[in-house]
Amino acid sequence: MNAQTPTSAERAEKLEGMGCKRKRVEDVRFVQGKGNYVDDLKLPGMLYGDFTRSPHAHARVKKIDTAKAAAVPGVVAVITAETLKTVNLAWMPTLAGDVQMVLADGKVLFQNQEVAFVIAEDRYAAADAAELVEVEYEALPCNVDPLKAMADGAPVIREDTKDKKEGAHGPRKHYNHIFNWQAGDKAAADAAFAKADVTIKEMIAYPRVHPCPLETCQCVASFDKIRGELTVWGTFQAPHVIRTVGSLISKIPEHKIHVIAPDIGGGFGNKVGAYPGYICAIVASIVTGRPVKWVEDRIENLSTTAFARDFWMDTELACTKDGKILGLRCYTIADHGAFDACANATKWPAGLFSIISGSYDIPAAHCSVDGVYTNKAPGGVAYRCSFRVTEAAYAIERAMDIMAQKLGMDPAEFRMKNLIRREQFPYTSVFGWVYDSGDYQTALNKAMETIGYKKLREEQKKKQDAFKRGETRELMGIGVGFFTEIVGAGPSRNCDILGIAMFDSAEIRIHPTGTGICRLGTKSQGQGHETTYAQIIATELGLAADNIMVEEGNTDTAPYGLGTYGSRSTPVSGAATAMACRKIKAKAQMIAAYMLEVHDDDLEWDVDRFRVKGNPERFKTMTELAWAAYHEVPPGMEPGLEAVDYYDPPNFTFPFGAYIGVVDVDVDTGSTKVRRFYALDDCGTRINPMIIEGQIHGGLTEAFGIAMGQEIHYDADGNVTSASLMDYFLPTAVETPHWETDWTTTPSPHHPIGAKGVGESPNVGGVPCFSNAVNDAFKFLGSTHIQMPHDNWRVWTAADKLGLHA
């Protein structure tokens, strides 16, 4: 070979394909403040909407007087439920098969519920007028405690459903009951508990938290009366679903609805569903004939849009005395607020909660979840997790620590003993999930060695002795966490949303000059999709990533897809992208064979070209083949080089990780410092290691926020007491600890490129690890379980209860 001819490896490096730490292409606009968000959109004649909201958590609405509001200069219209009834939109369907008031209809059911929508020439006039809508309320007793929702005489939350014996997911036990959902084998689990040497039982609560994206939810609706077409720009994680549901609700034909999601400033599940703001902006645009913008403020976002968790998990483990797990039981009350607007695959009202057996080889298990109504905001989204996986991971990982404590075993040793072994994969869990691949012991061993686990335990022992002698007021906690995620919904045979099967799609067009565009049904909210999908194409097609443009978020141009949440982009659309590339490559191979006058089978692929087997000097590069596709195709072949792939995954993917954190707790102030946090993640084939690291840093920071301070808290009267960033903990760079990240690589056997999702793993694995660390600090004093969040006040209170301030 000529010395100047680049080697295959050199050519591959130039492509910046998979495995390359390619810089994020979207950052060129983001770091210059040139992103294009919904609120950047300014249309001629645009109006602005704002809500009048309920101060009460539960009240009858006796009268609404809009006269004073309507008289404010600049106000164009004021909409109430009565207005919406004229277009049959006073209530809207939810993703969970329930219905939800768009504007208060007879009652308000949670604080800050939408009561009236004011439309004005500018945002300030709308806000001023919203204050002047006069509402006469009759306060009703309220309930914000899910554990009391099904008590005798509990306030009736939903008068519209109170007499219904059947809900969307089967029989109802009580007028505030939404569903019961069960998985596993109760008899087998009970039998395991009957023969166990050691059992534990703990109410492990995962408080209500909120995804709190920096950009709040917002939209601009513009109805063109002449064409009968509606365009909605919005912060949508799933634009096609919004279009379909929008068409079903509004009866506007789907092809006349254009949904566009421009740049999104964080979603984390909060931007999956539909909110009253969207409906009101659309109706307002239809009524006024002008574009209408609706933008939430922070308090509205935190107190009314989709929350997460609020799972109260009574969790039990049964073991032999030498530490082999025999059984698991969990009974959960899930607080869904006033309307069941939980985002889940239709047939799983508690999502993927039955992943609760976690990373362990558990022979018998059963779980049962009751969903209930309370006077809280509706929602129930996967805040950077996959449909209730975080709750499940938290329950099992806390239970593992509590059991290890009772057995007198080290928590890492107890986990090691029960982890699913490498040779057991593909592993069918006790709940029927088929875990695709894993090498758990290697991961945990690597984590323990890297952090110096043994030494840390020795140091902890010395500190505990010093504490007992009164020489220090600081406790040291070591948190161990091992998690298995389940990401990449479909498969469509199991997963649908309102009957729309869950698959995803990619359409790739290669232009004559060898550049191209890839359009997808997913939507990045900061995950770097424009960078990474192009890397998959670069490796698959041998075209430089820089020559591929990635476009998402436009329902007119992208093939139908179910959107981005639950770390499904890589497992599903990443696979669709690879499969579309393979269709293109197959056509390119035929063109190459024709041009080189050989049989297709006489060609082999080499990074960016097809070459003749045994004669590598004879080749055609993909760039040459792209050109040929538009002017030199074999007789009978269609010109062009493009493909679309709808990928219905055969299974979920199961990323996993081993996390270890070290905290120092001051028992007199309750303040907890994270000394070290080590996170080893395995997401199969790694597309962009730098982006993965960024995803893990972000997810760990959210996990830290959740474990150490986040809670959407309600007082007994139903007032939200944490609806601003003064009260809701959103960690900044100041509070955020240093992260140590690491990885192993165990490819998924069923994914075309072996990749699993990763975006949510650190949230799923991080929260239990932090909580285990704080709990671990107090264990030697006899404490079993301290509830999250572990903010200073609660940690101080826990210390107080242990008599440490006497």
* Stretch in the footprint of ligand CDP (CB under 6 A) among 185-193, 341-349, 440-448, 686-694: 686-694
The dihedral region occupied by 15, where left means phi > 0, alpha psi between -120 and 50, and beta the remainder, is alpha
* Candidate list 686, 751, 779, 785; residue touching ligand CDP; CB under 6 A: 686
What burial class does residue 797 get, using C-beta atoms within 10 Å of its C-beta: 0-12 exposed, 13-18 middle, 19+ buried? Answer: middle
Question: Which secondary structure element, helix H or strand E, spans residue 676, and what is its range?
Answer: strand 672-682
The verdict on 489 binding ligand CDP (CB under 6 A) reads no
Residues 530-559 contacting ligand CDP, CB under 6 A = 532
What burial class does residue 36 get, using C-beta atoms within 10 Å of its C-beta: 0-12 exposed, 13-18 middle, 19+ buried? Answer: exposed
Which residue, 655 or 789, is less far from ligand CDP as judged by CB? Answer: 655
* Candidate list 240, 293, 529, 750; residue touching ligand CDP; CB under 6 A: 529
Count of residues that interact with ligand CDP, criterion CB under 6 A: 23
Which residue, 336 or 756, is less far from ligand CDP as judged by CB? Answer: 756
Which residue, 271 or 686, is less far from ligand CDP as judged by CB? Answer: 686
Q: Is 295 helix (H, G, I), strand (E, B) or coil?
A: strand
* Candidate list 262, 528, 731, 752; residue touching ligand CDP; CB under 6 A: 528
Pair 166, 175: CB distance under 8 Å: no
Which residue, 530 or 608, is less far from ligand CDP as judged by CB? Answer: 530
> How far apart are CB 765 and ligand CDP at their closest, in Å?
13
Q: Which residues contact 471 (CB under 8 A, 6 or more apart)?
A: none
Enumerate the active-site residues: 237, 384-385, 760
Residues 690-749 contacting ligand CDP, CB under 6 A = 691-692, 695
* Stretch in the footprint of ligand CDP (CB under 6 A) among 162-170, 297-305, 680-688, 719-727: 680-688
> How far apart are CB 568 and ligand CDP at their closest, in Å?
5
184-203 mask for ligand CDP (x: CB under 6 A)? --------------------
Residues 559-588 contacting ligand CDP, CB under 6 A = 564, 567-570
> How far apart are CB 678 and ligand CDP at their closest, in Å?
20
What burial class does residue 753 get, using C-beta atoms within 10 Å of its C-beta: 0-12 exposed, 13-18 middle, 19+ buried? Answer: buried
> How far apart are CB 259 and ligand CDP at their closest, in Å?
19
Which residue, 22 or 258, is less far from ligand CDP as judged by CB? Answer: 22
Pair 664, 475: CB distance under 8 Å: yes
> What are the φ/ψ torsions at residue 472 (nearest 5 degrees)?
-145, 155
Q: Which residues contact 745 (CB under 8 A, 6 or more apart)?
A: 682, 684, 685, 686
> How far apart are CB 218 and ligand CDP at their closest, in Å?
20
Q: Is 300 helix (H, G, I), strand (E, B) or coil?
A: helix
Pair 359, 484: CB distance under 8 Å: yes
* Candidate list 92, 674, 687, 788; residue touching ligand CDP; CB under 6 A: 687
* Stretch in the footprint of ligand CDP (CB under 6 A) among 46-54, 96-104, 606-614, 685-693: 685-693
Which residue, 90 or 764, is less far from ligand CDP as judged by CB? Answer: 764
> How far apart are CB 746 and ligand CDP at their closest, in Å?
11
Question: Which secondary structure element, helix H or strand E, spans residue 768, and what is its range?
Answer: helix 761-779
Distance CA 13, CA 686 (A): 15
- Pairing relation of β-strands 134-139 and 59-65? antiparallel
Q: How far is CA 208 from CA 205, 298, 540, 659, 720, in A?
A: 9, 17, 43, 24, 11
Which residue, 158 or 568, is less far from ligand CDP as judged by CB? Answer: 568
Closest CA to 523 of 317, 300, 720, 260: 260
> How far apart are CB 417 and ligand CDP at their closest, in Å?
29
Half-sphere exposure for 712 (CA within 13 Å, toward CB): 31
Query: Rg for the chain (alpha carbons), in Å?
Result: 28
Q: Which amino acid would we find at residue 359?
A: S
Residues 107-126 contacting ligand CDP, CB under 6 A = none
Q: How far is CA 209 from the centre of its chain?
A: 13
Token reading at 691: 């982006």
Which residue, 684 or 765, is less far from ligand CDP as judged by CB? Answer: 684
Token reading at 253: 């034909």
> How far apart are CB 421 and ligand CDP at their closest, in Å?
23
* Stretch in the footprint of ligand CDP (CB under 6 A) among 278-286, 399-407, 582-590, 754-762: 754-762
The verdict on 684 binding ligand CDP (CB under 6 A) reads yes
> How far apart are CB 272 and ligand CDP at their closest, in Å?
12
Residues 200-259 contacting ligand CDP, CB under 6 A = none
Distance CA 430, CA 41 (A): 50
Q: Which residues contact 9 (CB under 8 A, 6 or more apart)?
A: none
Which residue, 398 or 686, is less far from ligand CDP as judged by CB? Answer: 686
* Candidate list 683, 700, 703, 798; residue touching ligand CDP; CB under 6 A: 683
756-775 mask for ligand CDP (x: CB under 6 A)? xxxx----------------
Q: Residues in the site for ligand CDP, rule: CB under 6 A?
A: 527-529, 532, 564, 567-570, 683-688, 691-692, 695, 755-759
